[in-house]
Structure 1
Amino acid sequence: MGGFAVSTVLRGSSWVVSFVPLLSLGFLTWPLFTVLAVRARSWPVAGAALGYLGLFALELWTFRTHETVFDISLFLLMVAGTTHAVLVRHLWFRRVWRRPAPVEADVMAVDYAMVSAGGVAPEPVLAEPVTVEEPVQRLLDEIDELVEQSMRDGEPQVGYDYDDPTYPDCPNPYCDEPWHGLAITTRMERMRTYGEVDLDYDYRDDDSSVLCPGSAFEGEWEQPSHEVTADRWESAPALPPPDPEPDPVVALRARADTLWTAVARPAVLIVVASWLLAMVSMFLAPAQWRWLTVVVGVMAPLWAGWVYGCEKRLFPDGYARKRLRARRSALAAVVLMVWGGWLPMRWAWEPPLDPAEGYFALVIACAVACLGHAVVQIGRVRPVAGASMEEMTETDPTAHGENLVVLGFGWMLFGLPITLLFGWILGYLAYQPGAMWAAVAVNAVLVLALFIESGAVKIMTKTREDGDLPMIVFLTIGVGALLVWSLLRIGATQFQP
């Protein structure tokens, strides 16, 4: 029944995922099929993802220039993508998708009455030779069906209700538990209350007070008084206390993550500030928003100052200085981020520059900051001469590479579609609708940096799996094409004075 419930949930989830193209207005169609192609290792799905990526590029190219082509591309990405996703939805959770089987193909016949009576189950009986593509999965599905059948008439054979809402309650008026065959004792209740199981517990030797003799008990039984139950509760053997000491390796890695995240954080802040500036500039004239570039420049120094001021509270004495001296490239990366954040100020200092050059300065500033971010994140896994065992175990290479992939994928799934959709809608009301492409470009720079960092970490540490690099390369190409397209749109846009 438990496997059947999980299968039902995952089937429902596949339907929800299938409507992502429709709900995202086609923006997430090609990323959805890219992830499915890697998950299912299917070349046809990968080809479909490439086709949807081409349609997405065509949609961007024909935006406001060829409305008919744009509408057709949007329709295909939304409707055709949703229909295709529904047809291949079984590929998401193939391990729980039950295959239809002929009625006469009885894979296994098990006498559950004999098993419950303490007998030995007979050998599996094959009605006739059956050719099944996945015999192990087929066998598991058959077992799920047999368990479901055995639970239709009351208590399951294994004595647990599996959160079934129709499972009967204990008929005894003094018991609030579901139907149970064994007696419930004070010591059993105590273990459940504390959430700890006594490894030396033996039901046959349990002489504590009985709280309920069992749902099938027939006869007279007097419920113990509260005083007797309390005395037995207190006199029961103490449970072993949980280990209060945390894993030292986990503590070391958490501290290292805090340090290197703080060192690399200015790059993300510069990108976010540039994104906000680009979106705000849609409603302002260039002479009004160019002085706001100061906000981008102060992000990195402010964050570095905050980390320096909170160093003693965040880290032990000398920890940050020792780690930064061992990896001097991280210090150089911080200087690079601070310098990159001030690059857009050039447009404020030289007003004759074209507004497009100001947006290009934003993109360049984000690229420089993300270069510093990559130096920090890749440098974490680089061996350092003379490093102690503590320093060598501070970073889990596998988890670090996976975290970078997840971050890049998250920014791609949420940042880019929201920017495109939000900017597209507001473009009809904005003073500078072309500024949307600057916001898309700075977001794409961060996504590309995260994907490149994850690929470099996986290659350097040799922790990559079979489908990791193809997925990263494919997503990098797609986001890189969007970045190039955004830069071309910025250069071709005639911004208002």
Structure 2
Amino acid sequence: MSTVLRGSSWVVSFVPLLSLGFLTWPLFAVLAVRARSWPVAGAALGYLGLFVLELCTFRTHETVFDISLFLLMVGGTVHAVLVRHLWFRRVWRRPAPVEVVDADVRMVDYALVSAGGVAPESVPAEPVTAGEPVQRLLDEIDELVEESMRDGEPRVGHYYDDPTYPDCPNPYCDEPWHGLAITTHMEQMRTYGEVDVDYDYRDDDSPVLCPGSAFEGEWEQPSHEVTADWWEPEQTVTPPDPVPDPVVALRARADTLWTALARPAVLIVVASWLLAMVSMFLAPAQWRWLTVVVGVMAPMWAGWLYGREKRLFPAGYARRRLRARRSALAAVVLMVWAGWLPMRWAWEPPLDAADGYFALVIACAVACLGHAVVQIGRIRPVPGASMDDAPETDPKAHGENLVVLGFGWMLFGLPITLLLGWILGYWAYQPGAMWAAVAVNAVIVLAFFVESGAVKIMTKARDDGDLPMIVFFTIGVGALLVWSLLRIGATQFQP
């Protein structure tokens, strides 16, 4: 686990670079709360000031804007790498030294014992009080151990891919050097991955495959028929299938159903993002009819799910679950209706591109509202949805999954949209359309963060740093959403 946590600290350290500096101050704010560090809190305030300065100097003072962006991206990344140990201190923290209490330490003549003698019992050893000399000796031992283990645990032998480890000299053996003979029974245990609890090497009478690397003399290798005759009776015995856990099966089936019901919102956001990026190269009169693609996403997915219901779920399962949670069915209807909201802008003139982009953002927000109804409502206990006091949804795992999804969309969706839109803006007909793509991406990130926070609060399955982290990142993404909407309203789109 320590290796995983250390690797995660490296991933988190590159958030300023991947987010183009937008998430630098929220990252250090969360780290300040988690590590309870005032210096880190001061750094977070400094990065917040740089972020505000960057927003104020956008397209007005290019030199100040570039310096602020460089400090937030590169400087924030270097700073995050330097303080990355604060995220998981227990991984780097050395165990506290064991205090040595006063005790009698019997000195034994180890040289005499190792030579085969016996320590004299008639002459008692002088008692030594554990004080400064003993502590100094323990410190020296610790330093020697640390120095010897500085490059990691020494790994030697063929198990650690040591290139200098010799192979078995026998031409019929492909194994590394081994002293004991390899029998058919030993090879069978290795093939099956199980050790026979009643196995005794001294009683092993199975055919010998190799007498040993140090064997000298004549030995005849057993034929394939001999080993096959001994192996064949064992092959006919098939191990019994493990008994499936009914709780795991129940939760997997429920997760498939509720994920499928909430997926139309994700499809609407993805279609809106693609439409916004494509509209960078089109006039409003050309791309407004493409809003039909956004509207058909949810009905197409609902139809596909209805056609595959019998293959995915037992008979009547989906119907019973929807009757138990009627709010989920209403959320699906809401998502289908939200997809057709941009079509109203396409039908009614005048052709104002800003109104069309606002319609896309509103449609995504309404669809994500239905997504939140499904994901939050599934943790509500209903009759017949649990087994042996185990609910069909693990609230802690569900909350963590929503947090991971939110961070995934934030760390990959937003930086890719900003970077791709900035590059394509040099050749695009409507470069301001990039902010519509950023806005719809920010909407779904906020939806995941709000859902995860609600699930953690309602189920009380949270750690001390969960809610502050979600709140800070929600504020950061919310500020980006507001900035995107302001940019859409202030942009003069081409006719």
For the aligned pair, the TM-score class normalised by the smaller chain equals 0.7 to 0.9
- In the TM superposition, residue 188 of structure 1 has moved relative to its aligned partner by 1.7
- 1:303-337 residue CA offsets vs partner (Å, 9 max, x unmatched): 11111122112211111100000000001101111
The match for 2:263 is: 265
CA contact 2:209–2:222 (8 Å) conserved in 1:
no
Amino acid at match of 1:481: A
Question: Which structure 1 residue ranges, 5 or more long, are not aligned?
Answer: 100-124
Q: Is the 8 A contact 2:386 2:392 kept in 1?
A: no
**CA distance in 1 between partners of 2:174 and 2:313 (Å):** 50
Q: Which residue of 2 aligns with 1:435?
A: 433
Code of the residue aligned with 1:421 in structure 2: it is: L
Any stretches of 5+ residues in structure 2 without a counterpart?
95-132
Task: Say if 1:353 and 1:141 are closer, same or farther in 2 by CA, change over 3 A.
Answer: farther
Alpha-carbon offset, residue 476 of structure 1:
0.8
Which of 63, 68, 79 in structure 1 is aligned with 2:74? 79
Aligned residues: 457
Alignment equivalent of 1:280, drawn from 278, 281, 295:
278
Give the distance between the partners of 1:20 and 1:270, measured in 2 at CA: 27
Alignment RMSD, CA only?
Answer: 3.7
Cα contact 1:209–1:224 (8 A) shared by 2:
no
How far apart, in 2, do the equivalents of 1:260 and 1:245 lie? Answer: 26
- Assess, with a 3 A threshold, how the Cα gap between structure 1 residues 230 and 42 changes in structure 2: closer, same or farther: farther
Query: Among 216, 223, 227, which residue is 1:219 paired with?
Result: 216
Is 1:189 the counterpart of 2:187? The answer is yes
Alignment of 1:370-381 (within 5 A): 370-381=368-379
Kept after mapping to 2: 8 A contact 1:378/1:456: yes
Q: Counterpart of 1:211 in 2: which secondary structure?
A: strand
| Aligned-residue offset at 1:129 | 6.7
Structure 2 SS opposite 1:336: helix
Flag as ranges the 4+ runs of structure 1 deviating above 4 A.
Answer: 9-47, 89-99, 129-132, 138-149, 235-240, 385-388
The 10-residue stretch of structure 1 (177-186 or 402-411) with the greater mean CA deviation from structure 2: 177-186
- Shift in Å, 1:255: 1.4
- Structure 2 CA distance, aligned partners of 1:93 and 1:175? 48
Separation in 2, partners of 1:197, 1:363: 61
The structure 2 residue matched to 1:228, chosen from 226, 229, 254, is: 226
TM-score by length of 2: 0.80
In structure 2, the partner of 1:335 is 333
Name the aligned partner's letter for residue 381 of structure 2: P
Superposition map of 1:219-368 within 5 A: 219-220=216-217, 222-226=219-223, 227-235=225-233, 241-352=239-350, 354-368=352-366
Query: Partner of 1:415 in structure 2?
Result: 413
* Structure number with larger C-alpha Rg: 2
Q: What's the secondary structure of 2:58's corresponding residue?
A: coil
**What's the TM-score, normalizing by structure 1?**
0.80
Q: Secondary structure at the match of 2:209?
A: strand
Q: In structure 1, what is the equivalent of residue 136 of structure 2?
A: 128
1:213/1:39 CA distance change after superposition, 3 Å: farther
Instruction: Give the whole-Å Cα distance in 2 for the aligned partners of 1:33 and 1:97.
Output: 19
Cα displacement (A) at 1:74? 2.0
Q: Residues 170, 36 of structure 1: CA spacing in aligned structure 2 closer, same or farther, 3 A cutoff?
A: farther
Rounded to whole Å, the distance in 2 between the matches of 1:302 and 1:33 is 43
Q: CA deviation digits over 1:80-124, x for unaligned, max 9? A: 23432443355567666698xxxxxxxxxxxxxxxxxxxxxxxxx
**1:88 matched to 2:86:** no
Equivalent residue for 2:124?
Answer: none
Hey, what's the Cα distance between the residues in 2 that align with 1:269 and 1:95?
Answer: 41
Q: Is the 8 A contact 2:280 2:429 kept in 1?
A: yes
Alignment partners' CA distance in 2, 1:481 and 1:283: 27
State the percentage of identical aligned residues: 83
Question: Could you tell me whether the CA contact under 8 Å between 2:385 and 2:391 is conserved in 1?
Answer: no
